[in-house]
Amino acid sequence: MAKPPSKPARTGRKIGQKVKKSKLKASSRRWIERHINDPYVQRARTEGFRARAAYKLLEIDEKHEILKGARRIIDLGAAPGSWSQIAAKVTGSTDTDVRVAAIDFLEMAPVPGVKFFQMDFLDDDAPELLRDALDGPPDLVISDMAAPTTGHKRTDHLRTMYLCEVAAYFAIETLAEGGHFLAKTFQGGAENDLLTMLKQNFKQVVHVKPAASRSESVEMFVLAKSFKGRQTDD
């Protein structure tokens, strides 16, 4: 099972570096300083992950074991690809035996073993393309999708919750029985209708905030475990 980070790896970069004053705004300079001094960012560089977000997934898996036994995975909002990197590794996916499908409207450099679609997940064709890319239903659907922030907390929450809801319905229509669904949301929690729907279709539904998610960030994740299976008509 994948292990979360314990101590920052040594990278040759000193913690607490300052960015030289320039024409950058003070807020931009502070963001850069925080980023380059972030131990998760430094460890991601050392361990070959494309983004610090990799440790959010690894830490969630450490507690909930959602990657264990996964044979096929679909990654929504995949760019720059750190979750896809983990997915390809745990499934043993290769370019000749693809077990991971991913999508993002942003460009993403190829990840070995991952079939990537650069398109909007809300496109009508997207769900079927993702399903067709694999040779069977996925055991895990993961979503790090978030709408571009506006600075208005309520608006940002509603826009990202909409993406979370669309991803949840996709998971219910796509997952193998017993599979899991993980999606980004914002603090304020999932809407009641969404939580009710997830609880009807999964055996356990919880909110999680991994340590790798910055304390000042409003992001959280909703995790629905053990899909009960799709209902069929008589």
Percentage above 70 pLDDT, the chain: 79
> Per residue in 76-109, pLDDT tens?
999 999 999 999 999 999 999 999 999 999 999 9
- Token digits of residue 30: 């502070």
Where does CATH 3.40.50.150 sit in the chain? 54-227
List the catalytic residue out of 89, 184, 199, 203.
184
CA distances 203 to 132, 156, 198, Å, are 27, 29, 9
> Per residue in 143-197, pLDDT tens?
999 887 777 777 777 888 899 999 999 999 999 999 999 999 876 655 788 999 9
Look at residues 4, 3, 60, 12 and name the one whose alpha carbon lies nearest to residue 36.
12
Specify the pairing of strand 219-227 against strand 180-186: antiparallel
Higher pLDDT: 227 or 187? It is 227
233, exposed or middle or buried, with CB in 10 Å at 0-12, 13-18, 19+? exposed
pLDDT of residue 147: 80
Distance between CA 217 and CA 204 in Å, rounded?
25
> Per residue in 118-128, pLDDT tens?
999 999 999 99
Q: What is the CATH number of domain 54-227?
A: 3.40.50.150
Query: Is-catalytic flag, 184?
Result: yes
In contact, 118 and 105? CB cutoff 8 Å: yes
> Per residue in 192-221, pLDDT tens?
889 999 999 999 999 999 988 866 677 889
